[in-house]
Structure 1
């Protein structure tokens, strides 16, 4: 038939539908509408998959339903950018926020599959009940955009995901470190020129000290005294030496907030080096909270900060030093801070991601304390690194487990699920991303699990390097457990890339988490490659 004949018949069908009141549904595969599967990373016991729905027709789509079958021994572990039901090996995925597809446009959803044995792709793909191929068959039902076949309708016992938060509603936060203004030459102005500020909701300023049971300034020169001339300031005006004038990073943050009125800055206290003071602080939590409030709301910079963050590494457990203040200490501390700071200011906390049985999450009452925080920053990085000088090599920020992981439970999903099982609301959890890599030297094996002779050389410290350096000096050549690794010469590195960050943001949405954060800004490229991927993945 000619193209004219097809159009003529189509018009007749449409007129008939109008007269008879029959709903006309576009063919799934016919008319250039298709669904295509692609496979991402594979860690031996699971993989990341993706279906892309392409609208090659001339009509807009307002919804989609994709069905497929998994082989025996495989099952869906999580799915994002959509909702799903599973009945045995049959999976039905539907749009959540991304149902509208303009002519020529695409939509997609991603998912993780766990499997045993060897990898096999999904089979039996159906798009709106018809073929997933662009030239395929018309859906069997003309009254619904999804299959009405009883064999594909999941029973009431099927597992169903919750719809993720709407796009734009997820938090993005990044750490600015005050010592970055020295050797790293990273200043508040760089947050603006890199495009990072426009992609953030929150900045955590790190770190204030915790000493003698009180909050204290970390570096007075860098924080509020360093002079910035017009060329190095955010707003193009020079600091002054007038008595009482605010300078340093605090003043630059003030200028940044004027450019971005919705941006909020949180003062973070503690960190790896200064966490030893929290035990004493918890012993008189009210006095501690008062000291923190007086510092955060000091009249010289009261308009700069919108809240406080506590980075205690770790309550009732060991970090650089060991704390024995008891499992209730964190809750006591955060309750006092919430009482003093009130509901109008933010109270957050960075917390461990140790999901092992009897590990750091089990050592403190994170669930009980969660009622007093706006959210937790879960530090889902630094699981493995060159401090284990002989290896085995392992990704420092795995999203999931994988065959050969050195410590069971040392991966992001383990921590998230443990916190949720204890009663911490999912929307109060932010997933952490490292803007740096960790690595070993003396390695001869490209795949994870190799032996080493020590930490790899780094610009500032052995065993650690910025992403902006590694992307060129040792480009990624593999992925495992949702993150990337690189083998070059005899060095082995693991780090996140824009691609793996995008996958992690899919996980954030699939789990209904509150958003994501990263440590820290100096590791990104000058044009903000990683923050662009993080923010884009949350949209």
Structure 2
């Protein structure tokens, strides 16, 4: 099979921070008066002994007075303003302060003021300026920053000690970090956390458990059940050990947990991305990239694409990529190479298993069909029960049954034409979904990707999508690829318009028209997910900047003419305008349309206003290395 031809669906169917290992941030304050106010507070204090000298004078078990507290000042969806306040609650002045904390993956500091803030991975360090380091007893000073993401700080340290003012014991080392918690027993309102024990030279007294940076419990064992949670809500947990002298050690790694409940089989709005098995070849996009980009903490579901449909059955799509290929330690989610033992699970399935161990809130569906492999559906639906049995047996194969939480059927298109034409009749799709639900049962997800062709007499009109909805958890409505260089001479038009506009080449080819037609036919809004393309479609030979211009053919693309990833287009051809809720750009004679974080924010507002189930996207590898499009979807559906 071809790669990009398989990927795309055919005719209808503010940038985030850059991650970096060592970051030094600009520290210009938000306004001059703010900076001077803090400078004046610092000017009231005297230059006194450095902290090292004070430690030398301390008694063996001295109660350290300084504390640091965090406040989220404001949150505007795509970012937030945070503030730390350092207070000297002791009886002796300090001459300098350093505050350290950890953010969960996907949350970063983008700028700061009144402190020198640097970051390494998820760990952040803020040191005083030359003019606000000394603090007399009872004095306090604040510094602030802007950030992106939704996580809360954890594991705060002030001058190497706990930010809550706990004791410092010279000659007694603080404990090590506990292991990153694992999550089990996740319900609508509770989760059980477990972790490996920390070590200490004098012994561990207990553990503090933090939820979203706030301590919620202190326990003596290595497990804790947190109750009273909200259904369909994502939480971040860390653990910190406390030794017998009440010294605290480093915070553990963060575990993200999403409670069940609400719509979409995972609670709250669906945030689903497609992961392609062929993307691990030329694209070198691995499951590990979902972790390093911070995307894993911002999604609820993954559709693994694709399994094939052959001879009336669900079959393996690519055995090597799916479960045979041995990933190296560097390519692996947990840094451990795949086993070479006979019978050991390898490949993407093993990596997805490891991903779920780290992010147990993620549900994974195996998607069958797609643009290239939909030709097998007409034969399969002649015996829906046998087809469903074959799919269940493959998805629930004991080698990887724990990896998958259900099945997705990507038939392009029932009783209509895609790569080939089908004449199975309007009831064929409903019969297939009914058989799948009967076989997979209520505890597995059964979903489908469906057309967005809302034209009069178009693909939505040819199939009983409303009747099939009663057996489906949701539909991923492919609201992209409406227009593109498959019409080589144009006219240029955005491939994923949210709404209609004057001059649109075809009525019924917009996201809103598709959603409204499906709702009018009886598909519940909560079972409809809006589609977002993480790529653009483009033409060349274009002289007109606005949509509607003529062209001579498809624009050059990395993998296929007329198609390019967002991560390339954002710099090679930045957006020059917007129309119908999406962006477009003209660079030389090339004309592209694609979604940006800004236009995605608008589309997510539409999802909420229409009470849709959520959003999905095609596909992960088109995003930037720090996952800015996935972040925009996540932030927009909070």
Q: TM-score, normalised by structure 2?
A: 0.59
| Secondary structure class of the residue paired with 1:507 | helix
Task: Map Cα deviations across residues 86-140 of structure 1 (whole Å, 9 max, x no partner).
Answer: xxxxxxxxxxxxxxxx9975879xxxxxxxxxxxxxxxxxxxxxxxxxxxxxxxx
Per the alignment, residue 207 of structure 1 pairs with 306
Matched, 1:220 2:319: yes
Determine if contact 1:230/1:239 at 8 Å carries over to the other structure. yes
1:415 aligns with one of 509, 514, 519: 514
Partner residue of 1:358 out of 453, 457, 465: 457
| Separation in 2, partners of 1:190, 1:226 | 17
**Pair 1:374-2:476 in alignment:** no
Describe how 1:203-282 pairs up with structure 2 within 5 A: 203-282=302-381
- Whether 1:395 aligns to 2:488 is no
Q: 1:179 aligns with which of 267, 278, 281?
A: 278
Partner of 1:463: 562
Instruction: Tell me, yes or no, if the aligned pair for 1:165 and 1:509 is still in contact at 8 Å.
Output: no
Question: Any conservation in 2 of the 1:165–1:512 contact (CA below 8 Å)?
Answer: no
The equivalent of 1:284 in structure 2 is: 383
Structure 1 Cα separation of the partners of residues 422 and 512 of structure 2: 26
How much does 1:233 deviate? 0.5
Q: 1:370 to 1:463 in 2, by over 3 A?
A: same
Whole-Å Cα distance in 1 between the matches of residues 406 and 521 of structure 2?
26
Which of 579, 583, 599 pairs up with 1:480?
Answer: 579
SS in 1 for 2:375: coil
Structure 1 length-normalised TM: 0.70
| Correspondence 1:322 to 2:385 | no
CA contact (8 A) 2:263 2:526 kept: no
CA distance in 1, matches of 2:516, 2:337: 49
- Within 1, Cα distance between the matches of 2:509 and 2:562? 19
Which SS does the other structure have where 1:443 is aligned? coil
* Distance across 2 between alignment mates of 1:292 and 1:213: 10
Q: What's the secondary structure of 2:289's corresponding residue?
A: helix
Cα distance in 1, alignment partners of residues 436 and 541 from structure 2: 47
1:508 aligns with 2:613: no
1:341 corresponds to 2:432: no
2: CA distance, partners of 1:434 / 1:103: 33
Name the CA shift for 1:195/1:405 in 2 (closer, same or farther; >3 Å).
same
Going from structure 1 to structure 2, the CA distance change for 1:394 and 1:244 (only over 3 Å counts) comes to same
1:103, 1:513 → 2: CA distance? 30
Q: How many residue pairs are counted as aligned between the two chains?
A: 383
Q: Is the 8 A contact 1:192 1:234 kept in 2?
A: yes
CA distance in 2, matches of 1:217, 1:390: 38
1:522 has 2:624 as partner: no
Residue 232 of structure 1: how far off its partner (Å):
1.3
1:231-264 per-position Cα deviation (integer Å, ceiling 9, x unaligned): 2110111111111100000000000000001111
Distance 2:386 2:368 in 1: 15
Does 1:191 pair with 2:279? Answer: no
Q: Return the alpha-carbon distance in structure 2 between the equivalents of residues 398 and 355 of structure 1.
A: 13
Task: State whether structure 2 residue 541 is matched by structure 1 residue 442.
Answer: yes
Which residue does 1:495 correspond to in 2? 594
Aligned equivalents of 2:431 and 2:75: distance in 1?
A: 50
SS at match of 1:475: coil
Q: Which residue of 1 aligns with 2:3?
A: none
* 2-structure distance, mates of 1:512, 1:165: 11
Q: Distance in 1 between matches of 2:550 and 2:601?
A: 30
What displacement does 1:414 show?
A: 0.2
Structure 1 stretches lacking a partner, 5+ long? 1-101, 109-163
Q: Secondary structure at the match of 2:371?
A: coil
Secondary structure in structure 2 of the residue aligned to 1:433: strand
Q: Residues 8-19 of structure 1: matches in 2 within 5 Å?
A: none
Please list, as runs of the form range in 1=range in 2, the aligned pairs for 1:298-309 lying within 5 A after superposition: 298-309=397-408
Secondary structure, in 3 states, of the residue corresponding to 1:332? helix
Equivalents in 1 of 2:75, 2:463: separation in Å? 45
Deviations along 1:37-67, one digit per CA (max 9) or x if unpaired, are xxxxxxxxxxxxxxxxxxxxxxxxxxxxxxx
CA contact (8 A) 1:307 1:345 kept: yes
Note the alpha carbon deviations across 1:369-425, whole angstroms, 9 max, x for none.
Answer: 000000000000000000000000000000000000000010000000000000000
In 1: Cα distance, 2:319 partner to 2:523 partner: 36
Q: Work out the CA distance in 2 between the residues paired with 1:238 and 1:521.
A: 23
The 4+ residue runs of structure 1 with deviation greater than 3 A are: 102-108
Unaligned runs of 5+ in 2: 1-70, 78-261
Deviation at 1:451, TM superposition (A): 0.2
